[in-house]
Structure 1
């Protein structure tokens, strides 16, 4: 495996956002008379408006996205860094890497600042592509902006939709088992239980120097 760049999803990969997102989607679901558990299963790795389209096709996804953004704004301290995120990103400071997320630029930027994590030069958000995850467009765009082939990109993803998108783009994928079990990430080329494991793999592949 030749690695020229590393592409990270954000929620569940660099930020521990599960609890906050669960509160947001539960509140929204109950207010709309929907089953929170059914809605929750539709959320991972996807843009909020795409989840709304599937969970409540009778509602206007644009309007509901605004409601969800308002709920998101109330969770200011709900997105701490995942264990090992700061150390891994510091180790990558001189290497090509990017974030590829279904989130929006403003909220992700605020959460990274609050978590004390650096943002890379290349950032791809849900609004940057017409077709979001599980379509491959977001990962293809990140690779293009980095000037490398998708086949030379290692993607770290925690959600089946994101894994599917990265595989479809031609990337090598590590499924991070922070929000889903390994069997749910079956398309991933390999799985890791922590970012420390991801860092060790990058060291073993010669992409990062040994500390």
Structure 2
């Protein structure tokens, strides 16, 4: 790949929704249906905090701690019901197909069933390592998810690159000590590099390569 940025890394840690899978419309349908009963006035497009766990968001939205488990379970089922209404982010299939086994992980705030269903519906291969919001005590923006993913890959966080699209995830990666953070789409926090999608991204297990003409300008540039 000519005219590229090259960064030596040993592993890729990728968020799912917004990075590998375009699930925005499906999630909006599920959340807005759920909100009619549990959080009247909530609008997904206006109010959602991307990148955080359902359980954490539901607890803040409904206020009644005794109902969080029931409300979260209902929302999870609604999201699972719409899991087929997703598509891959451009370039995701090609990038993952070329990634060496054991060198990449998916790190999502969603639950395992939802992440697995959305990736399958988008035609993406199963992740060799999948860390979900269910696997950690503290979800994004805390560092726990990315630290656990790096541990399971047996690659130090400082030798990984993270692909994220949400402020909570970017903060999580930064707190985990990951030096290279690539924002996908309209990332709302400072990142190392930013791209619109994954079509110009390559990884061979030792080097991350991104075409320069695919890089997006960042805030302040």
TM-score bucket of the superposed structures, by smaller chain: 0.7 to 0.9
Give the Cα separation in 2 of the matches to 1:39 and 1:196.
Answer: 26
Partner of 1:195: helix, strand, or coil?
A: coil
Deviation, 1:55, is 1.7
Q: 1:9 is matched with which residue: 8, 12, 15?
A: 15
The answer to whether the Cα contact below 8 Å between 2:31 and 2:79 also exists between their aligned partners in 1 is no
Give the Cα separation in 2 of the matches to 1:22 and 1:153.
Answer: 31
1:127 match: 134
1:16-52, CA deviations, whole angstroms, 9 ceiling, x for partnerless residues? 1000111111111222343223785343111111111
Give the Cα separation in 1 of the matches to 2:148 and 2:101.
Answer: 21
* Structure of higher RCO (CA pairs closer than 8 Å, 6+ residues apart): 2
Bigger strand share: 2
Give the Cα separation in 1 of the matches to 2:61 and 2:45.
Answer: 6
The answer to whether the Cα contact below 8 Å between 2:28 and 2:45 also exists between their aligned partners in 1 is no
Aligned length: 201
Q: Please identify, of 129-138 and 78-87, the stretch whose mean Cα deviation from structure 2 is larger.
A: 78-87
Gaps of 5+ in 1: none
Bigger helix share: 1
1:32 match: 38
Inter-CA distance 65–40: structure 2 relative to 1 (3 Å threshold): farther
The answer to whether the Cα contact below 8 Å between 1:50 and 1:61 also exists between their aligned partners in 2 is no
Q: 1:192 is matched with which residue: 192, 195, 201?
A: 195
The answer to whether the Cα contact below 8 Å between 1:174 and 1:190 also exists between their aligned partners in 2 is yes
Map 1:1-211 onto structure 2 (within 5 A): 1-37=7-43, 41-58=47-64, 60-94=67-101, 96-171=103-178, 172-177=180-185, 181-182=186-187, 184-186=188-190, 188-197=191-200, 199-200=201-202, 202=203, 206-207=207-208
The answer to whether the Cα contact below 8 Å between 2:12 and 2:105 also exists between their aligned partners in 1 is yes
Deviation, 1:57, is 1.4
The answer to whether the Cα contact below 8 Å between 2:10 and 2:207 also exists between their aligned partners in 1 is no
Give the Cα separation in 2 of the matches to 1:123 and 1:74.
Answer: 21
TM-score by length of 2: 0.83
2:213 match: none
The answer to whether the Cα contact below 8 Å between 2:183 and 2:195 also exists between their aligned partners in 1 is yes
TM-score by length of 1: 0.86
Deviation, 1:192, is 1.2
Deviation, 1:194, is 1.2
RMSD between aligned residues: 2.2
Q: Please identify, of 51-60 and 22-31, the stretch whose mean Cα deviation from structure 2 is larger.
A: 51-60
Give the Cα separation in 2 of the matches to 1:145 and 1:129.
Answer: 13
